[in-house]
Amino acid sequence: MTAASRGTPPGLPVPDVGIPLELARDMSMAEQYEYLRTKFTRRRALVAASAFTGAFAGGGLLTGCASGTEAPARTAAGSSPHPATGRVSGSAVTPFGRHLAFGADPKTQMRVSWQVPFAVRKPFIRVGPTPWSLSRRIEAEVRHLRTPGVAGQRMALDQYYVHAALDRLRPGTTYYYGVGHEGFDPASKARHSTIGRFRTAPAHPEKFVFTAFGDQGVTPDALANDKVLLGRGPAFHLHAGDICYADGTGHGEDSDIYDPGAWDLFLKQTETVAKSVPWMVTTGNHDMEAWYSPNGYGGQSARWTLPGNGFDSAHAPGVYSFVYGNVGVVALDANDVSYEIPANKGYSGGRQTAWLDKRLGELRGQVDFIVVFFHHCAYSTSTHASDGGVRDAWVPLFAKHQVDLVINGHNHVYERTDAIKGGRVGKQVPVGASTDPTRDGIVYVTAGGAGKSLYRFPAGVKDSFEGKVTRRESVETFHWTKSQRQKADTVEWSRVRYTGFSFLSVEAEAGSSPRLKVSALAQSGERIDHFEVRRGS
């Protein structure tokens, strides 16, 4: 095993984060993980992780990859490093919870993930051009996640997540796939109902739709939203954090109330969409599951395979980017900069923000539009209001690189700003209007109405949306400060407000006059907002 395969760039020493040098050089990734997991508490491991700077920004101790490549297979926290072995006959174990995600290159890479209720032998995926010719067979990896029990609260639970990496695919091509294991072959006639499909990104930009929301959970309203969303035929979906709410408290602490079984229900609920639409998630405060070291993201790493091209895919799986057509998409982890909920504040040691600055600069020269999504709101007036940490760390970079659209969750409502420039209204953008980020500033959207119980706007502030516009030029709200205090604000940028379950639908057009046609749809399918983003218009 080379140094690079253990997460250290060739020619550089193994970083000293608590593993003796002579041991680290001979350890596999799983062995290094187990060593750190047993040696450190969660917080001490965080401190060690934040020590990686400079030459290690693209790799890290546990990534096993250089910058711009994908993280290798790894064992989730709380598990043993050896492969899972069967406990029951494979024929009696049916896969569920299929969900897709792009690799670093959506034109040629797809990641397929699913869950099994018991450990299985020799998992695999079959892929082909039709449901009846799944000729290509690829081995898959089991990630065993063990959640310890807590007296009087929950029993210990073993969960098994399976992942397959599909590379060298053809751009703009529809593929069919089936997932299986020893004793369960999706190519058999009896298993055809388990077959799914997906389409890779086109080789050249063309018109497409993507959708977005945050704060979903497992509810009838979440399921209803998914059904309306699927009807839009999205090329991919962005989930802005607070995915499942297995952690019902959301403080990122060991004392949070946690039910890992909620993930089983969530993945079953979401499978109807995510088995065919790449479900690109990032990390919310309810996704800091403190029982998985080093920073509470071990569960996310076990359940999802994401592009892995951020600043440190092992410690920050929800930070990455990809390009689809003429749009560059950047996912961020706002727990790193949040003033409101500081459990993981500063865990990256500034590396995420440095990566963001570099990546936005790269994308600005490659695509027509840049869309950034993350959890905590930069600009919102509802229950959690605005996070000053996000504003201090990232809003100046969004302005510097003229980001075209920012999507957040956290507040369980729909709210959309005017174009904001220098913290103030750069241009009013009423329903149906057009805006130019190069001149007017950036529009921020809170799309937190995915399915979890709804919030409200400040007292006396009415909803204002398409077909029911209420005139109000200022709203009394607040933003979170570095000292975790709420500082009162009177703001004029809150343009559209809707208290209801909803999601965002964005149509991207390329060509001589590229534009983003942004719409918000209620759970009923009724449009509640729309506007356009055009550059240089």
pLDDT at 4: 31
pLDDT at 160: 97
The rounded distance, in Å, linking the Cα atoms of 52 and 456 is 41
Q: Are strands 386-387 and 414-417 parallel, antiparallel or unpaired?
A: unpaired
Q: Is the pLDDT of residue 54 over 50?
A: no
The rounded distance, in Å, linking the Cα atoms of 140 and 126 is 10
The rounded distance, in Å, linking the Cα atoms of 362 and 365 is 6
Looking at residue 122, what DSSP letter applies? S
Over the stretch 58-113, which tens digit does the pLDDT of each residue have? 222 222 222 233 333 333 444 433 445 556 788 889 999 999 999 999 999 999 99
Residue 21 host element (H or E): helix 21-24
Over the stretch 335-363, which tens digit does the pLDDT of each residue have? 999 999 999 999 999 999 999 999 999 99
Buried b or exposed e, range 104-140, using 16+ CB within 10 angstroms: bbbbbbbbbbbbbbebbeebbbbbbeeeeebeeeeeb
The rounded distance, in Å, linking the Cα atoms of 277 and 271 is 9
Cα three-residue angle 100-191-112, rounded to 5 degrees = 15
Q: Is the pLDDT of residue 367 over 60?
A: yes
The rounded distance, in Å, linking the Cα atoms of 306 and 239 is 12
pLDDT at 194: 79
Q: Is the pLDDT of residue 514 over 60?
A: yes
The rounded distance, in Å, linking the Cα atoms of 111 and 489 is 44
Q: For residue 160, with 0-12 CB atoms within 10 Å meaning exposed, 13-18 middle and 19 or more buried, which class applies?
A: buried
Question: Across-strand partners of 527?
Answer: 521
Question: Span 241-249, mean pLDDT?
Answer: 97
Please provide the average confidence, as pLDDT, over all residues in the chain: 86
Query: What count of other Cβ atoms lies within 10 Å of the Cβ of residue 402?
Result: 17
The rounded distance, in Å, linking the Cα atoms of 220 and 235 is 24
279 with 239: CB under 8 angstroms? yes
Q: Which of 314, 283, 232, 307 is nearest to 517 (CA)?
A: 232
User: Scanning the structure block, which residue is given the tokens 């703009």?
Assistant: 172
Q: For residue 291, with 0-12 CB atoms within 10 Å meaning exposed, 13-18 middle and 19 or more buried, which class applies?
A: buried
- Helical H runs in 51-92? none
Please, which pLDDT band fits residue 485 given cuts at 50, 70 and 90? very high
User: Scanning the structure block, which residue is given the tokens 């006959």?
Assistant: 89
The rounded distance, in Å, linking the Cα atoms of 293 and 41 is 8
pLDDT at 20: 44
Residue 489 host element (H or E): strand 486-491
User: What is the rounded end-to-end Cα distance, in angstroms, of the chain?
Assistant: 54
Over the stretch 381-409, which tens digit does the pLDDT of each residue have? 999 999 999 999 999 999 999 999 999 99
- Helical H runs in 40-135? 42-50
Q: Which of 377, 371, 429, 431 is nearest to 404 (CA)?
A: 371
pLDDT at 152: 86
Over the stretch 417-431, which tens digit does the pLDDT of each residue have? 999 999 999 999 999
Residue-level length of the chain: 537
The encoded tokens of residue 271 equal 């499978």
The encoded tokens of residue 21 equal 């040098």
Cα dist from 232 to 99, 236, 475, 520, whole Å: 18, 11, 33, 12
What is the residue type of 84?
A
For 194-221, give the DSSP string.
G-EEEEPPPSS---EEEEEE----SSHH
- Helical H runs in 345-448? 351-364, 388-393, 395-400
Percent of the chain with pLDDT over 70: 84
240 with 228: CB under 8 angstroms? no
pLDDT at 87: 65
Give the residue with greater pLDDT, 364 vs 7: 364
The rounded distance, in Å, linking the Cα atoms of 360 and 362 is 5
Question: Span 265-284, mean pLDDT?
Answer: 98
Least trusted range by pLDDT, from 58-62, 187-191, 523-527: 58-62
pLDDT at 34: 41
pTM of the model: 0.86
The rounded distance, in Å, linking the Cα atoms of 207 and 213 is 21
The encoded tokens of residue 393 equal 């760390």
What is the residue type of 404?
D
Q: All domains of the chain, ordered by start, with CATH?
A: 4-56 (no CATH), 90-197 (2.60.40.380), 204-212+231-261+274-533 (3.60.21.10)
Give the residue with greater pLDDT, 173 vs 152: 173
Over the stretch 200-212, which tens digit does the pLDDT of each residue have? 999 999 999 999 9
3-state secondary structure of 524: coil
The rounded distance, in Å, linking the Cα atoms of 25 and 13 is 9
Give the residue with greater pLDDT, 32 vs 515: 515
Please, which pLDDT band fits residue 537 given cuts at 50, 70 and 90? low
The rounded distance, in Å, linking the Cα atoms of 434 and 531 is 6
The rounded distance, in Å, linking the Cα atoms of 410 and 214 is 7
Please, which pLDDT band fits residue 267 given cuts at 50, 70 and 90? very high
